[in-house]
């Protein structure tokens, strides 16, 4: 017996040794198969500053991406024309200054004369012109080029049949002129166009056929760039490592190494606490989960920052359904929803109840717009007047992934039950929810939308006949107000139309506006001069960041 047990323990020991050998062996083969470089582990000289977000980038081509995660990386490598800060003020980036013509149809940008690519070539107006031409080419795969629709020579999709007719002119090596179809408000043009305009290197991509642009190797390494940081290496879908561009024209960054990492939502808190993450990008792209917020606030190594955002969570109402056609029914639904409970309980106070698409801090917010009353009696009366069938059950399509939003669905289900509207929640993944709402295969549909400084950004969701108008409401008055608001180009003249629009939306209720959540960010205390508020516009200003060890 004792003999047997000794034999066994010996075998177990053998087993343990084999296991370790297996790990080591596997590790060796993995390392040799990985990126080239030093075989031995290097220590950690000058630990890079790590930025974290919770989803990966996709194409890195600024005009061909379906998401916003790419911008965290390419904003470091390429340059946009202007920078937008948290006070809604535009500041120089590639353009040092700009002016608007009398008729508000010509926008002239003077490029920073010190701007150059990291291979030493100067960045000139030719690069800007080239970028505009290749992106608007009909052959180019560019899923998000609609911003070019403002320019002359393009169709409503931002496609230019004739590159020479495109409203972009290189006046001289450092001056570019954009011509717009209609007069435009300076803020709108800067926000919707200049802020989103990134310049490509013509001397690298000039020979590429437009139909092949999206497959080009440039998007794998983005070298040369012109921005504050240079691409060093990446692990696809997980991490990009960057190093400072010492010749950056707005000043050399003081942090030598930067890393952008994709870290799952569940681990952000752990990463912040352990010091693996220095900066969260926030604004719906990487935030502290609400339930961890008190913990994060108590951490000695972290600064917790709750910033109001212009993001809004909404519930679309499918007005094409005959039983939801009567605006009184939609008003009743909006009235039955208790937004204050949502903000106090679900958001733990980190947000504000929405009255319409614009939060109170938005320049186009209608100051006389009342809050939507939470009035169960009135809601019941409206439903009764409109002849609501209490046996009908509405389907509430809810995309999974945002816990607060998922819980808000349950809350609204209970609220609506109180006024006699039965709701069935259908929890589906995000792509399914998008397609169902787009096709009109729903009654109520939850979705989140990013805010915009340009009030016209709401129009695709509300304009009659627009593919993104999931509510299918074809209200002529709303359409007119949107068109008129867009065609004026001074805020004082635009404001009345948007004021009326906000009132009309409370009257028609194609969309039940729910809440504007705060962005819950945290940064490591070793960081300084991080303009967190500017992150709302996907400007990170990394060249201004400082770090102390």
Partner 1 sequence: MTRYVIRRILIAVPVLLGITVLSYLCMRLAPGSPIDLLVDPNATAAEIERQRHLLGLDQPVVIQYFKWLGQLLHGELGYSMRSSKPVINLILARIGPTALLAGTSLVIAYVVGIPLGVLSATRAYTLWDYGSMTLAFLAAAIPNFFLGLVAIYVFSVKLKMLPLGGMYDPGTRPGVLALTTHLIMPALVLAGAQLGALIRQVRSAVLETLNEDYVRTARAKGVAEQKVLYKHALRNALVPIITLFGLSLPFLVGGSVVTEQVFSWPGLGTFMIQSIGSRDYPAIMGVTVLIAIAVLIGNLLTDLAYGLADPRIRYE
Stretch that binds partner 1, among 1-9, 307-315, 326-334, 352-360 (CB under 8 A): 1-9
Closest by CA position to 88, among listed 367, 352, 452: 452
Q: Supply the minimum distance, in Å, between the C-beta of residue 281 and partner 1.
A: 16
Nearer to partner 1, 121 or 434 (CB): 434
CA distances for 547 relative to 116, 258, 275, 391, 397, angstroms? 26, 11, 13, 62, 45
Residue 141 near partner 1 by CB under 8 A: yes
C-beta separation of 175 from 125 below 8 A? yes
Residue 267 near partner 1 by CB under 8 A: yes
Nearer to partner 1, 301 or 361 (CB): 301
Judged by CB under 8 A, the residue of 169, 214, 374, 526 near partner 1 is: 214
Q: What is the DSSP string of 172-224?
A: ETTEEEEEBSS---HHHHHHHTGGG-B---HHHHTTS-GGGGGG-THHHH--S
Site for partner 1 in 142-161 (CB under 8 A): 143-144, 146-147, 149, 155-159
C-beta separation of 202 from 130 below 8 A? yes
Stretch that binds partner 1, among 93-101, 164-172, 431-439, 482-490 (CB under 8 A): 431-439
Judged by CB under 8 A, the residue of 4, 164, 251, 300 near partner 1 is: 4
Nearer to partner 1, 15 or 371 (CB): 15
Q: Supply the minimum distance, in Å, between the C-beta of residue 338 and partner 1.
A: 29
Q: Please say whether the dihedral angle defined by the alpha carbons of residues 444, 447, 451 and 457, taken in this order, is positive or negative.
A: negative
Nearer to partner 1, 218 or 515 (CB): 218
Stretch that binds partner 1, among 71-79, 318-326, 367-375, 424-432 (CB under 8 A): 424-432
Closest by CA position to 512, among listed 346, 362, 386, 379: 379
Return d(Cα 204, Cα 4) in angstroms, integer. 72
Q: Where are the strands (E) in 141-237, listed by range?
A: 168-172, 175-179, 229-235
How many residues touch partner 1 under the rule CB under 8 A: the total is 90
C-beta separation of 541 from 534 below 8 A? yes
Return d(Cα 504, Cα 327) in angstroms, integer. 11
* Cβ atoms within 10 Å, residue 294: 10
Alpha helices of 399-488 — where are they, by DSSP H? 403-418, 430-439, 459-462, 476-487
Q: Supply the minimum distance, in Å, between the C-beta of residue 378 and partner 1.
A: 33
Q: Supply the minimum distance, in Å, between the C-beta of residue 286 and partner 1.
A: 13
Judged by CB under 8 A, the residue of 460, 490, 507, 525 near partner 1 is: 460
Q: Supply the minimum distance, in Å, between the C-beta of residue 391 and partner 1.
A: 27
Residue 162 near partner 1 by CB under 8 A: no
Nearer to partner 1, 203 or 438 (CB): 438
Residue 360 near partner 1 by CB under 8 A: no
| Residue appearing with tokens 């967190």 | 532
* Cβ atoms within 10 Å, residue 366: 21
Contacts of 220 (CB under 8 A, 6+ apart): 60
| Residue appearing with tokens 């701007």 | 115
| Residue appearing with tokens 């352990």 | 274
Nearer to partner 1, 301 or 345 (CB): 301
Nearer to partner 1, 157 or 414 (CB): 157
Site for partner 1 in 26-85 (CB under 8 A): 26-31, 33-35, 37-48, 50, 55-59, 61, 64, 66
Return d(Cα 285, Cα 536) in angstroms, integer. 10
Stretch that binds partner 1, among 98-106, 213-221, 484-492, 502-510 (CB under 8 A): 213-221
Stretch that binds partner 1, among 18-26, 319-327, 356-364, 374-382 (CB under 8 A): 18-26
* Per-position x/- string for 237-256, each x denoting binding to partner 1 as judged by CB under 8 A, each - no binding: xxx-x---------------
Residue 371 near partner 1 by CB under 8 A: no
Angle at 400 between CA 394 and CA 405, to 5 degrees: 75
Radius of gyration of the chain (CA): 27
Return d(Cα 536, Cα 307) in angstroms, integer. 9
Return d(Cα 233, Cα 243) in angstroms, integer. 10
Residue 430 near partner 1 by CB under 8 A: yes
Nearer to partner 1, 276 or 406 (CB): 276
Judged by CB under 8 A, the residue of 89, 370, 467, 548 near partner 1 is: 467
Residue 464 near partner 1 by CB under 8 A: no
């Amino acid at each position: 017996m004792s003999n047997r047990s000794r034999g066994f323990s010996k075998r177990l020991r053998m087993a343990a040794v084999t296991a370790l050998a297996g790990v080591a062996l596997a590790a060796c083969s993995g390392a040799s198969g990985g990126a080239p470089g030093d075989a031995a582990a290097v220590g950690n000289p000058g630990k890079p500053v790590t930025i974290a977000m919770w989803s990966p980038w996709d194409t890195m081509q600024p005009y061909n991406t379906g998401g916003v995660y790419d911008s965290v990386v390419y904003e470091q490598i390429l340059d946009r024309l202007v920078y937008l800060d948290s006070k809604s003020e535009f500041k120089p980036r590639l353009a040092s200054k700009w002016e608007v013509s009398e008729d508000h149809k010509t926008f002239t940008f003077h490029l920073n004369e010190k701007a150059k690519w990291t291979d030493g070539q100067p960045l000139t107006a030719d690069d800007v012109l080239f970028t505009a031409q290749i992106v608007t080419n009909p052959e180019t795969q560019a899923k998000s080029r609609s911003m070019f629709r403002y320019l002359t020579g393009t169709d409503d999709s931002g496609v230019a049949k004739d590159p020479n007719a495109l409203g972009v002119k290189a006046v001289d090596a450092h001056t570019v002129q954009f011509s717009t179809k209609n007069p435009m408000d300076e803020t709108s043009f800067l926000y919707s166009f200049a802020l989103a305009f990134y310049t490509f290197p013509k001397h690298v991509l000039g020979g590429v056929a437009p139909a092949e642009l999206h497959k080009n190797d440039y998007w794998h390494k983005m070298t040369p760039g012109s921005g504050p940081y240079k691409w060093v290496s990446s692990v696809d879908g997980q991490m990009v490592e960057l190093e400072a561009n010492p010749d950056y024209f707005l000043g050399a960054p003081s942090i030598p190494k930067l890393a952008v990492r994709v870290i799952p939502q569940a681990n952000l808190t752990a990463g912040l606490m352990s010091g693996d993450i220095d900066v969260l990008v926030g604004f719906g792209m990487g935030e502290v989960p609400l339930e961890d917020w008190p913990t994060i606030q108590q951490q000695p190594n972290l600064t917790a920052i709750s910033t109001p955002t212009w993001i809004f969570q909404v519930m679309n109402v499918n007005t094409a359904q005959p039983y939801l056609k009567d605006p009184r029914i939609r008003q009743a639904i909006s009235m039955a929803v208790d937004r204050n409970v949502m903000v106090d309980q679900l958001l733990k106070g980190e947000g504000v109840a929405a009255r319409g698409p614009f939060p109170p801090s938005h320049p186009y917010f209608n100051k006389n717009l009342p809050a939507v009353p939470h009035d169960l009696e009135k809601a019941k009366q409206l439903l009764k007047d409109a002849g609501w069938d209490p046996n009908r059950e509405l389907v509430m399509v809810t995309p999974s992934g945002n816990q607060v939003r998922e819980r808000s669905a349950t809350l609204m289900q209970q609220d609506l039950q109180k006024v006699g509207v039965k709701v069935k929640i259908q929890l589906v993944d995000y792509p399914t929810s998008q397609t169902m709402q787009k096709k009109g295969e729903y009654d109520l549909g939850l979705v989140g939308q990013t805010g915009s400084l340009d009030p016209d950004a709401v129009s695709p969701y509300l304009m009659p006949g627009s593919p993104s108008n999931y509510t299918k409401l074809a209200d002529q008055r709303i359409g007119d107000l949107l068109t008129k608001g867009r065609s004026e180009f001074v805020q004082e003249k635009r404001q009345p139309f948007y004021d009326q629009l906000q009132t009309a939306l409370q009257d028609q209720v194609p969309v039940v506006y729910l809440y504007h959540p705060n962005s819950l960010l945290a940064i490591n205390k070793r960081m300084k001069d991080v303009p967190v508020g500017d992150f709302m516009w996907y400007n990170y200003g990394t060249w201004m960041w400082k770090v102390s060890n």
